[in-house]
Chains A and B, each alone.
Chain A
């Protein structure tokens, strides 16, 4: 039997607000346990939540970016369950009246564009963290994360392969960072993903029973977990069993999913509207303001890069995946006096390689867009060769100097002076007549020897085009 995979995703994006969704405590990552939890976050008796307006604005911004309906009234509800890292015994979340309604997002897989429906997105507070290690049979509770604002983004079951699911997650990941509403850090848990997977025989209308896989904190894990889960479900059905609706946990170490809890064990959350919070009202003036504040979105930027800079679809995609990289690229193009293609190569090539190697984000790049643009300008006007430019980039990495200053200081300027080069060639030929003879006898590859020798003598500074031209004509004399 041929099987079709059906995938839907729930993504929790931590909103990049300074303070928590219902209190003034900081949301900064990595503080000492329980130092960023105020009386409200601790659920102390008598304390009350006050909604962080910035979280609302971020949610609206997201909704507008995916062309979604923004609810004029949305309502916070209490989701009741007991857990030690849930201080109030309920999570304040939006239930039947979410702030963002139906929207959509286009993905590209294998050269084809597909539209994925976004069912809804709603605001909620995060819980704290239970720390099971280091406490010898006890559990430590860190409530720093409790009350951190989240936007839960729920997709339609529109994806049919792991590749589509990953493309969708990457698209969303890019989008939320573009909008400046989430820092996108999967490692720190700012962007978390739960995947609903089911299989059905090709041609069948009805969906199969789904399993929800939690704890996927990298694109690679998402892909692997889906692949494994699909295989597992098909195995279960093929061996005469039935897939049960359950929550499964992906174990990256063992590369497998295992059952966490089945539907029968699921809680009755007893949702009801939170009486401590008023309905969230979105005025048309706020909508207008948020619409005006939307940045150029990734799809539009990609298209513009192709048109404005004459870049390929692939290059445009790579350069626009991160807003910071796109901004860097455009700045560098400006400083290079418009060397769009060359700058693209350098940003995607040498610069990205260096950033990866040092594990530095492009926003913190030691080489600014201005300095990279200055470097590319010198390649374009043939002051230096590409090879020398790599040396210059390395020097720039550990200094504050501009390309021009470094070229000057290190004497890296390319030798394009025909007279000087001719003199050196004449000398070299005189010293190596054997090789000259060989060349003239038809062994044209021998030109490499001369290029190599001259480059050695000039420490790579000879203008390669010029050198080649001169050598060709002299050797043939």
Chain B
């Protein structure tokens, strides 16, 4: 059951092989059974989920609904859910229950999906290893001594361990793609503006984008289809019809041109990973794709540019957590200054504080031009490189991360080395392009991800390429050892 595709699950629901309530109970049982080690789910929605599943069963019985009706899923705890705590992985919001639901979650709910709970994440989505969460680190089901990646590590680990067929994620610098790669699942971050950011707690507003995490490109396509679309509540969402992401999945990729940026295939890339990615590229070549080397001359500036722009935005975005209206407030503050200092000092973890300080610094008088303004200029150059590249190629391929999942604690004290684990993914956010990660093999029994980058609003093509690749390979079907068994109910 746990390894069935969405289409298969949906068919089972329609054939009355199983009800949505049973399916939900099945995955809730898996969460209870397996998540003790993983720590991927931090809030259960069991009661409400079962009543929603009941509703879904009625809809299905009447012949209505769609592919997502009655399908259980998990949401990253960055998406606000009315009536259910939204912590963003932070002590600051440990007591926060939003009086509204994020648009993306709402759309999935309207499509009939059943939210089982909320997944762990790096605090305020700041991290690449899921070690900065107030609720403790998440473990990688492929090797409990390694990290699942971040910041959507809870969602990635949960889908990898088959605790739910789907999970939402958000991606500011690689936070869907890198954990997808580390956990051997498929994750897609669409074009900036394709999924509404309303109700998604902001880290860096001009980079944040919600997306889908699933076992396969086809499942991810179904989920993303439901999440996408213009939202009048988000001024940066784009008023453009959503393509049918499923219709073209089966199209041949013959004649498509896949670009390989030479800057992403250097000696910095682990040789074993390089071999797996090249093998995946060969597989696509054998399916008729043309392969072309390209150059993104300014891409090596993406990490420094990102670590100016993202902290700058976060420093302002997190100012609202001041202990005045919601969230953590320190005990008996002496005065206003004390209220601010202690509420924020106690509520935020080290990584969040580090980024707020960097952000405040790069925006301060006398430094703005040298840092923030310069970073924005670099950002435009990086975007321009991609625009040029897409004149020659349809899709760009690379490794998603420079290594496989690293050991827990390995990079915790070394922020720069941690930041560099997003070196291949960050440029995509700076340019606002859609990108995804697809499993393409194993190194030392740890999954390797191939990143695919598409042109603006070409999610359909991206998913088509990924799906065709997954027709040729079955890396995406591999389940980590121990999790193939059924949960004892």
Of B99, B201, B205, B321, the contact of A39 (CB 8 Å cutoff): B99
Of A47, A84, A89, A272, the contact of B368 (CB 8 Å cutoff): A272
Given A39-B99, A42-B325, A51-B235, verify A275-B205 contact (CB < 8 Å). yes
A49 and B237 CA atoms in complex are apart in Å by 12
Q: Which of B45-53, B311-319, B423-431 interfaces with chain A?
A: B311-319
Query: Which residues of B sit under 8 angstroms from A47, Cβ to Cβ?
Result: 100, 198-199
| A270, closest chain B residue (CB) | B363
Of A49, A82, A272, the contact of B363 (CB 8 Å cutoff): A272
Q: Are B235 and A84 in contact (CB under 8 A)?
A: no
Of A48, A268, A275, the contact of B313 (CB 8 Å cutoff): A275
Q: Are A88 and B206 in contact (CB under 8 A)?
A: no
Given A80-B363, A84-B324, A276-B235, verify A46-B313 contact (CB < 8 Å). no
Q: Are A278 and B80 in contact (CB under 8 A)?
A: no
Given A45-B88, A45-B96, A272-B368, verify A80-B319 contact (CB < 8 Å). yes
B residues 77-107 near A (Cβ < 8 Å) are 79-80, 86, 88, 93, 96, 98-100, 102
Given A87-B320, A89-B320, verify A276-B200 contact (CB < 8 Å). no
A180 within 8 A of B: no
A90 within 8 A of B: yes
A338 and B313 CA atoms in complex are apart in Å by 64
B222 within 8 A of A: no
Q: Are A268 and B364 in contact (CB under 8 A)?
A: yes
Q: Are A48 and B235 in contact (CB under 8 A)?
A: yes
B370 within 8 A of A: no
Per-residue contact bits, chain A 166-182, to B (CB 8 Å; 1 contact, 0 not): 00000000000000000
B340 within 8 A of A: yes
B232 within 8 A of A: yes
Of A50, A87, A90, A139, the contact of B316 (CB 8 Å cutoff): A90
With both chains docked as a complex, state the minimum distance between the C-beta of A87 and any C-beta of chain B, in angstroms: 6
B336 within 8 A of A: yes
Of B236, B327, B340, the contact of A278 (CB 8 Å cutoff): B236
Q: Are A43 and B325 in contact (CB under 8 A)?
A: yes
A residues 255-282 near B (Cβ < 8 Å) are 268, 270-272, 275-278
Q: Are A275 and B206 in contact (CB under 8 A)?
A: yes
Q: Are B324 and A141 in contact (CB under 8 A)?
A: yes
| A139, closest chain B residue (CB) | B336
B348 within 8 A of A: no
Query: Which residues of A sit under 8 angstroms from B322, Cβ to Cβ?
Result: 82, 84, 89
A44 within 8 A of B: yes
A88 and B99 CA atoms in complex are apart in Å by 17
Query: Which residues of B sit under 8 angstroms from A210, Cβ to Cβ?
Result: none
Of listed B96, B205, B322, B360, residue having the most chain A CB within 10 A: B322
Query: Which residues of A sit under 8 angstroms from B324, Cβ to Cβ?
Result: 84, 87, 141
Query: Which residues of A sit under 8 angstroms from B205, Cβ to Cβ?
Result: 275-276
| B363, closest chain A residue (CB) | A270
| B100, closest chain A residue (CB) | A39
Q: Are B206 and A270 in contact (CB under 8 A)?
A: no
A323 within 8 A of B: no
Query: Which residues of A sit under 8 angstroms from B98, Cβ to Cβ?
Result: 39, 44-46
B residues 372-426 near A (Cβ < 8 Å) are 372
Q: Are B312 and A272 in contact (CB under 8 A)?
A: yes
Size band of the interface chain A makes with B: 20 to 34
Of listed B100, B204, B205, B320, residue having the most chain A CB within 10 A: B320
A461 within 8 A of B: no
With both chains docked as a complex, state the minimum distance between the C-beta of B324 and any C-beta of chain A, in angstroms: 5
B contact residues, total (Cβ < 8 Å): 45
B234 within 8 A of A: yes
Of A88, A141, A268, the contact of B320 (CB 8 Å cutoff): A88
A78 and B316 CA atoms in complex are apart in Å by 8
A90 and B319 CA atoms in complex are apart in Å by 7
Query: Which residues of B sit under 8 angstroms from A272, Cβ to Cβ?
Result: 312-313, 316, 363, 368, 372
With both chains docked as a complex, state the minimum distance between the C-beta of B443 and any C-beta of chain A, in angstroms: 37
Per-residue contact bits, chain A 18-52, to B (CB 8 Å; 1 contact, 0 not): 00000000000000000000010011111111110
With both chains docked as a complex, state the minimum distance between the C-beta of B209 and any C-beta of chain A, in angstroms: 12
Query: Which residues of B sit under 8 angstroms from A49, Cβ to Cβ?
Result: 235
| A277, closest chain B residue (CB) | B235
Per-residue contact bits, chain B 222-244, to A (CB 8 Å; 1 contact, 0 not): 00000000001111100000000
Query: Which residues of A sit under 8 angstroms from B316, Cβ to Cβ?
Result: 78, 80, 88-90, 270, 272
A141 and B93 CA atoms in complex are apart in Å by 21
Q: Are A45 and B201 in contact (CB under 8 A)?
A: yes
Of B80, B200, B320, the contact of A43 (CB 8 Å cutoff): B320
B197 within 8 A of A: yes
Per-residue contact bits, chain A 47-59, to B (CB 8 Å; 1 contact, 0 not): 1111100000000
With both chains docked as a complex, state the minimum distance between the C-beta of A22 and any C-beta of chain B, in angstroms: 9
Q: Are A46 and B198 in contact (CB under 8 A)?
A: yes
Query: Which residues of A sit under 8 angstroms from B100, Cβ to Cβ?
Result: 39, 44, 46-47
Given A82-B322, A90-B319, A272-B363, verify A45-B235 contact (CB < 8 Å). no
A271 and B365 CA atoms in complex are apart in Å by 9
Of B79, B201, B319, B326, the contact of A89 (CB 8 Å cutoff): B319
Given A45-B80, A90-B316, verify A270-B236 contact (CB < 8 Å). no
Query: Which residues of A sit under 8 angstroms from B372, Cβ to Cβ?
Result: 272
Of B199, B204, B336, the contact of A46 (CB 8 Å cutoff): B199
Of listed A43, A49, A141, residue having the most chain B CB within 10 A: A43
B202 within 8 A of A: yes
Q: Are B312 and A84 in contact (CB under 8 A)?
A: no
Query: Which residues of B sit under 8 angstroms from A78, Cβ to Cβ?
Result: 316
Q: Are A46 and B200 in contact (CB under 8 A)?
A: yes
Query: Which residues of B sit under 8 angstroms from A275, Cβ to Cβ?
Result: 204-206, 236, 313
B residues 305-351 near A (Cβ < 8 Å) are 312-313, 315-316, 318-322, 324-327, 336, 340
Per-residue contact bits, chain B 172-210, to A (CB 8 Å; 1 contact, 0 not): 000000000000000000000000011111101110000
Query: Which residues of B sit under 8 angstroms from A139, Cβ to Cβ?
Result: 336
Of listed B198, B313, B325, residue having the most chain A CB within 10 A: B325
Q: Are A82 and B236 in contact (CB under 8 A)?
A: no
Query: Which residues of A sit under 8 angstroms from B93, Cβ to Cβ?
Result: 45
| A79, closest chain B residue (CB) | B316
Given A48-B233, A49-B235, A270-B364, verify A84-B319 contact (CB < 8 Å). no
With both chains docked as a complex, state the minimum distance between the C-beta of B471 and any C-beta of chain A, in angstroms: 38
Query: Which residues of A sit under 8 angstroms from B233, Cβ to Cβ?
Result: 48, 50
| Selected A-B contacts with CB under 8 Å, 26 pairs | A39-B98, A39-B100, A44-B98, A45-B86, A45-B88, A45-B201, A45-B320, A46-B79, A47-B199, A48-B197, A48-B234, A48-B235, A78-B316, A80-B316, A84-B324, A87-B320, A87-B324, A88-B320, A90-B316, A139-B336, A270-B316, A270-B365, A271-B368, A272-B363, A276-B205, A276-B235
Could you list 20 further interchain pairs (A-B, Cβ under 8 angstroms) beyond the known A48-B198, A272-B312?
A39-B99, A45-B86, A46-B198, A46-B199, A47-B198, A49-B235, A50-B232, A80-B315, A80-B363, A88-B320, A89-B316, A90-B316, A90-B319, A270-B360, A270-B364, A272-B313, A275-B236, A276-B236, A277-B235, A278-B235
Q: Which residues of A contact B (CB under 8 A)?
A: 39, 42-51, 78, 80, 82, 84, 87-90, 139, 141, 268, 270-272, 275-278
Q: Which residues of B contact A (CB under 8 A)?
A: 79-80, 86, 88, 93, 96, 98-100, 102, 197-202, 204-206, 232-236, 312-313, 315-316, 318-322, 324-327, 336, 340, 360, 363-365, 368, 372
Nearest 3 CB-CB pairs, A to B?
A: A89-B319, A275-B206, A270-B363
